[in-house]
Chains A and B, each alone.
Chain A
Amino acid sequence: MSDDIKANKTVDLKGQVCPYTFVRSKLAIEKMNLGEVLEIVLDHKPAVENVPKSMENEGQKVLKIDQTGEKEWHVFIRKDKEKKK
Chain B
Amino acid sequence: MEFTEDQILRYSRHIILPEVGGDGQEKLLNAKVVLVGAGGLGSPVGYYLAAAGVGTIGVIDNDRVEMSNLQRQIAHNTKRLGVLKADSAKETYETLNHDVKVVTHKERLTSANIKGIIKDYDIVVDGSDNFPTRYLVNDACVMLKKTLISAAVFRFEGQVLSIYPGDGPCYRCLFEVPPPAGMVPSCQEAGILGVVTGVVGTLQATEVVKAILGIGDPLKGRLLLWNALEMSFRIVKVPRNPECPVCGKNPTITELIDYEQFCQMSH
Contact = CB atoms under 8 A, between A and B. Distances in A.
Interface in A22-39: 22-24, 26-27, 30
Contacts of B21: 26, 30, 83
A27 B18 contact: no
Interface residues of A, number: 13
The majority secondary structure among interface residues of chain B is helix
Contact of B8 (A20, A58, A85): A20
Interface in B20-69: 21-23
A46 interface: no
A80 to B, nearest CB: 14
Contacts, number: 30
Interface string A58-70: 1000000000000
B10 to A, nearest CB: 11
Contacts of A27: 3, 8, 15, 22
Interface in A5-53: 19-20, 22-24, 26-27, 30
B183 interface: no
Contacts of A24: 8
Contact of B18 (A20, A23, A57, A85): A57
B3 A58 contact: no
A79 to B, nearest CB: 13
B130 interface: no
A23 B23 contact: no
B20 to A, nearest CB: 9
Interface string B76-113: 00000000000000000000000000000000000000
Contacts of B15: 23, 26-27
Contacts of B13: 19
B22 A85 contact: no
Nearest to B15: A23
Given A26-B15, A27-B3, A27-B15, A20 B9 contact: yes
Contacts of A26: 15-16, 21-22
A17 to B, nearest CB: 12
Contacts of B23: 30, 83, 85
Contacts of A22: 16
Interface string A66-85: 00000000000000000101
B12 interface: yes
16 contacts: A19-B13, A19-B16, A20-B9, A20-B12, A22-B16, A23-B8, A23-B12, A23-B15, A23-B16, A26-B15, A26-B16, A27-B3, A27-B8, A30-B21, A83-B18, A83-B23
Interface of B: 3, 8-9, 12-13, 15-16, 18, 21-23
Given A30-B21, A83-B23, 18 more contacts: A19-B12, A19-B13, A19-B16, A20-B12, A22-B16, A23-B16, A24-B8, A26-B15, A26-B21, A26-B22, A27-B3, A27-B8, A27-B15, A30-B22, A30-B23, A57-B18, A58-B18, A83-B18
